[in-house]
Protein backbone atom coordinates (compact mmCIF):
# COMPACT_ATOMS: atom_id res chain seq x y z
CA UNK A 1 0.00 0.00 0.00
CA UNK A 2 1.20 3.53 -0.68
CA UNK A 3 2.57 5.72 2.06
CA UNK A 4 0.04 8.54 1.95
CA UNK A 5 -0.32 11.71 3.96
CA UNK A 6 -3.85 11.04 5.20
CA UNK A 7 -4.81 12.79 8.39
CA UNK A 8 -4.53 10.75 11.59
CA UNK A 9 -7.49 10.87 13.98
CA UNK A 10 -6.47 11.26 17.64
CA UNK A 11 -9.08 10.09 20.15
CA UNK A 12 -10.03 11.42 23.54
CA UNK A 13 -10.14 9.08 26.52
CA UNK A 14 -13.92 9.07 26.27
CA UNK A 15 -13.79 8.00 22.63
CA UNK A 16 -11.29 5.27 23.43
CA UNK A 17 -13.65 3.99 26.12
CA UNK A 18 -16.38 3.70 23.48
CA UNK A 19 -13.96 1.74 21.29
CA UNK A 20 -13.29 -0.51 24.29
CA UNK A 21 -17.04 -1.19 24.55
CA UNK A 22 -17.02 -2.18 20.88
CA UNK A 23 -13.91 -4.28 21.43
CA UNK A 24 -15.47 -6.25 24.27
CA UNK A 25 -18.59 -7.00 22.22
CA UNK A 26 -16.34 -8.04 19.35
CA UNK A 27 -14.28 -10.33 21.61
CA UNK A 28 -17.47 -12.06 22.77
CA UNK A 29 -18.73 -12.42 19.20
CA UNK A 30 -15.42 -13.93 18.09
CA UNK A 31 -15.49 -16.28 21.09
CA UNK A 32 -18.91 -17.63 20.11
CA UNK A 33 -18.13 -17.86 16.40
CA UNK A 34 -14.84 -19.64 17.17
CA UNK A 35 -16.60 -22.12 19.47
CA UNK A 36 -19.11 -22.84 16.69
CA UNK A 37 -16.29 -23.60 14.22
CA UNK A 38 -16.71 -27.37 14.42
CA UNK A 39 -16.44 -30.07 11.75
CA UNK A 40 -19.57 -29.87 9.60
CA UNK A 41 -20.53 -26.32 10.57
CA UNK A 42 -20.89 -23.92 7.66
CA UNK A 43 -19.10 -20.60 7.61
CA UNK A 44 -22.52 -18.98 7.02
CA UNK A 45 -23.58 -20.41 10.39
CA UNK A 46 -20.55 -18.79 12.03
CA UNK A 47 -21.55 -15.49 10.45
CA UNK A 48 -25.03 -15.82 11.95
CA UNK A 49 -23.62 -16.69 15.39
CA UNK A 50 -21.35 -13.65 15.28
CA UNK A 51 -24.17 -11.37 14.14
CA UNK A 52 -26.48 -12.56 16.93
CA UNK A 53 -23.95 -11.46 19.56
CA UNK A 54 -23.70 -8.00 18.04
CA UNK A 55 -27.48 -7.70 17.94
CA UNK A 56 -27.76 -8.79 21.56
CA UNK A 57 -25.51 -5.91 22.60
CA UNK A 58 -26.97 -3.27 20.30
CA UNK A 59 -23.83 -3.21 18.16
CA UNK A 60 -23.53 -3.35 14.39
CA UNK A 61 -21.00 -4.97 12.07
CA UNK A 62 -18.55 -2.64 10.39
CA UNK A 63 -17.95 -5.26 7.71
CA UNK A 64 -21.51 -5.81 6.43
CA UNK A 65 -22.18 -3.39 3.59
CA UNK A 66 -18.61 -2.06 3.59
CA UNK A 67 -18.02 -1.38 -0.13
CA UNK A 68 -20.73 -3.98 -0.72
CA UNK A 69 -19.30 -6.74 1.50
CA UNK A 70 -22.24 -9.11 2.15
CA UNK A 71 -21.59 -10.50 5.64
CA UNK A 72 -20.76 -9.75 9.28
CA UNK A 73 -17.39 -11.51 9.15
CA UNK A 74 -14.69 -12.50 6.73
CA UNK A 75 -14.39 -16.31 6.86
CA UNK A 76 -11.28 -17.43 4.98
CA UNK A 77 -10.38 -21.13 4.80
CA UNK A 78 -6.97 -22.70 4.13
CA UNK A 79 -5.38 -20.94 1.12
CA UNK A 80 -7.88 -18.10 1.44
CA UNK A 81 -5.83 -15.47 3.23
CA UNK A 82 -8.41 -12.80 3.98
CA UNK A 83 -11.76 -11.30 2.89
CA UNK A 84 -13.45 -14.66 2.29
CA UNK A 85 -17.26 -14.74 2.08
CA UNK A 86 -19.18 -16.86 4.59
CA UNK A 87 -21.01 -19.55 2.63
CA UNK A 88 -22.52 -23.03 2.79
CA UNK A 89 -19.01 -24.49 2.88
CA UNK A 90 -18.96 -27.10 5.66
CA UNK A 91 -15.78 -27.06 7.70
CA UNK A 92 -13.57 -30.15 7.49
CA UNK A 93 -11.12 -31.75 9.89
CA UNK A 94 -7.82 -29.84 9.74
CA UNK A 95 -9.17 -26.73 8.02
CA UNK A 96 -7.34 -23.50 8.84
CA UNK A 97 -10.07 -20.90 9.34
CA UNK A 98 -9.50 -17.18 9.71
CA UNK A 99 -12.38 -15.22 11.25
CA UNK A 100 -12.02 -11.45 10.88
CA UNK A 101 -14.77 -9.28 12.32
CA UNK A 102 -15.62 -5.86 13.60
CA UNK A 103 -18.16 -4.08 15.76
CA UNK A 104 -19.46 -0.53 16.08
CA UNK A 105 -20.84 1.04 19.26
CA UNK A 106 -22.15 4.62 19.03
CA UNK A 107 -20.11 5.21 15.88
CA UNK A 108 -16.80 3.87 17.26
CA UNK A 109 -15.13 0.84 15.74
CA UNK A 110 -13.15 -2.22 16.76
CA UNK A 111 -11.52 -4.82 14.52
CA UNK A 112 -10.00 -8.21 15.41
CA UNK A 113 -9.16 -11.54 13.79
CA UNK A 114 -8.24 -15.05 14.88
CA UNK A 115 -7.05 -18.26 13.27
CA UNK A 116 -8.88 -21.44 14.29
CA UNK A 117 -7.76 -24.91 13.28
CA UNK A 118 -10.79 -27.16 13.01
CA UNK A 119 -10.54 -30.60 14.57
CA UNK A 120 -7.07 -32.14 14.41
CA UNK A 121 -4.32 -29.68 13.54
CA UNK A 122 -1.50 -30.44 11.15
CA UNK A 123 1.63 -29.53 13.17
CA UNK A 124 2.85 -27.21 10.40
CA UNK A 125 -0.49 -25.40 10.36
CA UNK A 126 -0.42 -25.07 14.14
CA UNK A 127 3.10 -23.64 13.94
CA UNK A 128 1.92 -21.17 11.28
CA UNK A 129 -0.92 -19.95 13.52
CA UNK A 130 1.24 -19.84 16.65
CA UNK A 131 3.97 -17.83 14.96
CA UNK A 132 1.45 -15.41 13.46
CA UNK A 133 -0.20 -14.90 16.84
CA UNK A 134 3.12 -14.29 18.57
CA UNK A 135 4.15 -11.93 15.78
CA UNK A 136 1.01 -9.88 16.49
CA UNK A 137 1.80 -9.71 20.21
CA UNK A 138 5.42 -8.77 19.53
CA UNK A 139 4.21 -5.96 17.31
CA UNK A 140 1.83 -4.76 20.01
CA UNK A 141 4.59 -4.98 22.64
CA UNK A 142 6.89 -2.93 20.43
CA UNK A 143 4.20 -0.26 20.22
CA UNK A 144 4.52 0.32 23.96
CA UNK A 145 8.02 1.79 23.53
CA UNK A 146 7.94 2.83 19.89
CA UNK A 147 8.51 6.37 18.68
CA UNK A 148 7.30 5.59 15.16
CA UNK A 149 4.69 3.24 13.70
CA UNK A 150 7.33 1.57 11.52
CA UNK A 151 8.88 0.00 14.61
CA UNK A 152 5.87 -2.32 14.84
CA UNK A 153 6.75 -3.83 11.47
CA UNK A 154 10.41 -4.04 12.46
CA UNK A 155 9.51 -6.12 15.53
CA UNK A 156 7.21 -8.43 13.59
CA UNK A 157 9.71 -8.97 10.78
CA UNK A 158 12.65 -9.54 13.12
CA UNK A 159 10.71 -12.19 15.02
CA UNK A 160 9.29 -14.05 12.01
CA UNK A 161 12.60 -14.06 10.12
CA UNK A 162 14.33 -15.47 13.20
CA UNK A 163 11.96 -18.37 13.90
CA UNK A 164 13.81 -21.69 13.52
CA UNK A 165 12.67 -24.21 10.93
CA UNK A 166 10.82 -23.74 7.66
CA UNK A 167 10.65 -20.07 6.68
CA UNK A 168 7.26 -18.37 6.83
CA UNK A 169 6.38 -15.45 4.59
CA UNK A 170 4.90 -12.12 5.71
CA UNK A 171 2.37 -10.78 3.22
CA UNK A 172 3.17 -7.21 2.21
CA UNK A 173 0.06 -6.33 0.20
CA UNK A 174 -2.25 -6.42 3.23
CA UNK A 175 -1.34 -4.46 6.34
CA UNK A 176 -2.73 -3.01 9.55
CA UNK A 177 -4.32 0.40 9.85
CA UNK A 178 -5.61 3.16 12.04
CA UNK A 179 -9.11 2.73 13.45
CA UNK A 180 -11.62 4.94 15.24
CA UNK A 181 -14.70 6.67 13.84
CA UNK A 182 -14.07 4.59 10.71
CA UNK A 183 -12.79 1.04 10.39
CA UNK A 184 -9.86 1.89 8.10
CA UNK A 185 -7.94 5.08 8.77
CA UNK A 186 -4.42 6.46 8.62
CA UNK A 187 -1.76 5.40 9.30
CA UNK A 188 -0.90 2.15 7.55
CA UNK A 189 0.74 -0.30 9.96
CA UNK A 190 3.21 -2.43 8.03
CA UNK A 191 4.08 -5.95 9.19
CA UNK A 192 7.59 -5.94 7.74
CA UNK A 193 10.79 -3.93 7.96
CA UNK A 194 11.34 -1.06 5.53
CA UNK A 195 13.44 2.07 5.51
CA UNK A 196 10.28 4.09 6.19
CA UNK A 197 9.79 4.97 9.85
CA UNK A 198 6.11 5.84 9.50
CA UNK A 199 4.02 8.23 11.54
CA UNK A 200 5.20 9.40 14.95
CA UNK A 201 3.45 7.64 17.82
CA UNK A 202 1.24 10.03 19.80
CA UNK A 203 -1.38 9.58 22.53
CA UNK A 204 -4.85 9.18 21.08
CA UNK A 205 -3.72 6.93 18.23
CA UNK A 206 -5.63 3.68 17.81
CA UNK A 207 -4.17 1.02 15.54
CA UNK A 208 -5.25 -2.38 14.24
CA UNK A 209 -2.18 -4.62 14.17
CA UNK A 210 -2.72 -7.66 11.92
CA UNK A 211 0.11 -9.76 10.55
CA UNK A 212 -0.76 -12.33 7.86
CA UNK A 213 1.70 -15.16 7.31
CA UNK A 214 1.87 -17.92 4.71
CA UNK A 215 3.63 -21.26 4.54
CA UNK A 216 4.65 -20.80 0.93
CA UNK A 217 5.15 -18.07 -1.66
CA UNK A 218 4.03 -14.50 -1.04
CA UNK A 219 2.14 -14.17 -4.33
CA UNK A 220 -1.64 -13.80 -3.94
CA UNK A 221 -4.60 -13.18 -6.22
CA UNK A 222 -8.18 -12.00 -5.79
CA UNK A 223 -10.96 -14.37 -6.85
CA UNK A 224 -13.83 -13.52 -9.18
CA UNK A 225 -15.95 -12.27 -6.25
CA UNK A 226 -13.55 -9.28 -6.12
CA UNK A 227 -12.92 -9.88 -2.42
CA UNK A 228 -11.43 -13.26 -1.50
CA UNK A 229 -7.62 -13.22 -1.46
CA UNK A 230 -5.92 -16.60 -1.99
CA UNK A 231 -2.32 -17.76 -2.22
CA UNK A 232 -1.34 -18.54 -5.81
CA UNK A 233 0.56 -21.68 -4.78
CA UNK A 234 -2.36 -23.01 -2.70
CA UNK A 235 -0.42 -22.94 0.57
CA UNK A 236 -2.21 -22.12 3.81
CA UNK A 237 -2.28 -18.77 5.58
CA UNK A 238 -2.90 -17.36 9.05
CA UNK A 239 -4.14 -13.99 10.32
CA UNK A 240 -4.29 -12.57 13.85
CA UNK A 241 -5.40 -9.04 14.73
CA UNK A 242 -6.18 -6.75 17.66
CA UNK A 243 -7.17 -3.10 17.96
CA UNK A 244 -4.86 -1.18 20.29
CA UNK A 245 -5.04 2.31 21.83
CA UNK A 246 -2.08 4.49 22.75
CA UNK A 247 -2.82 7.01 25.50
CA UNK A 248 -0.90 9.04 28.06
CA UNK A 249 -0.83 6.08 30.46
CA UNK A 250 0.46 3.51 27.97
CA UNK A 251 -1.21 1.05 25.61
CA UNK A 252 -4.48 -0.86 25.93
CA UNK A 253 -5.59 -3.77 23.74
CA UNK A 254 -9.20 -2.80 23.12
CA UNK A 255 -10.35 -6.06 21.52
CA UNK A 256 -8.87 -8.42 24.14
CA UNK A 257 -11.02 -9.38 27.13
CA UNK A 258 -8.16 -8.70 29.56
CA UNK A 259 -6.88 -5.64 27.73
CA UNK A 260 -3.81 -7.55 26.59
CA UNK A 261 -2.48 -8.64 30.01
CA UNK A 262 -1.76 -12.27 29.10
CA UNK A 263 -0.52 -11.63 25.58
CA UNK A 264 1.89 -8.89 26.62
CA UNK A 265 3.19 -10.50 29.84
CA UNK A 266 5.97 -12.51 28.10
CA UNK A 267 7.44 -9.23 26.86
CA UNK A 268 7.32 -7.41 30.18
CA UNK A 269 4.63 -4.99 28.99
CA UNK A 270 1.68 -4.18 31.26
CA UNK A 271 -1.35 -2.65 29.52
CA UNK A 272 -2.89 0.47 31.03
CA UNK A 273 -6.71 0.67 31.05
CA UNK A 274 -8.36 4.07 30.89
CA UNK A 275 -10.63 4.52 33.89
CA UNK A 276 -12.30 7.83 33.07
CA dihedral 137, 138, 141, 142 (to 10 degrees): -140
CA dihedral 139, 143, 145, 147 (to 10 degrees): 120
Does residue 174 contact residue 212 with C-beta atoms inside 8 Å?
yes
Whether residue 184 is annotated as binding a ligand: the answer is yes
Whether residue 109 is annotated as binding a ligand: the answer is no
Does residue 172 contact residue 192 with C-beta atoms inside 8 Å?
yes
Whether residue 241 is annotated as binding a ligand: the answer is yes
Eight-class DSSP state of 176: E
Strand partners, 113: 100, 241
Whether residue 100 is annotated as binding a ligand: the answer is yes
Contacts of 137 (CB under 8 A, 6+ apart): 263, 264, 266, 267
Does residue 251 contact residue 245 with C-beta atoms inside 8 Å?
yes
Whether residue 177 is annotated as binding a ligand: the answer is yes
Whether residue 83 is annotated as binding a ligand: the answer is yes
Whether residue 111 is annotated as binding a ligand: the answer is yes
Ranges assigned E (strand) in the chain: 73-77, 80-82, 96-105, 108-117, 169-170, 176-178, 185-189, 206-209, 212-214, 220-222, 229-231, 237-239, 242-247, 250-253
**Binding-site residues from annotation for a divalent metal cation:** 100, 111, 177, 210, 241
**Binding-site residues from annotation for substrate:** 83, 184
**Binding-site residues from annotation:** 83, 100, 111, 177, 184, 210, 241
Amino acid sequence: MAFGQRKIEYKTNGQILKMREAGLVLAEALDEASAAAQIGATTAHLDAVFGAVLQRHGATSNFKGYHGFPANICASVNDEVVHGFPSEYALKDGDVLKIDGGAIIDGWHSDSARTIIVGTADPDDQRLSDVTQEAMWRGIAALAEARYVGQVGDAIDDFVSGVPGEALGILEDYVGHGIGSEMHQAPDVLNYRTGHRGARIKPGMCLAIEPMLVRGDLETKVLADDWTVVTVDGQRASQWEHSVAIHLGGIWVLSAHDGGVAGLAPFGVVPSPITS
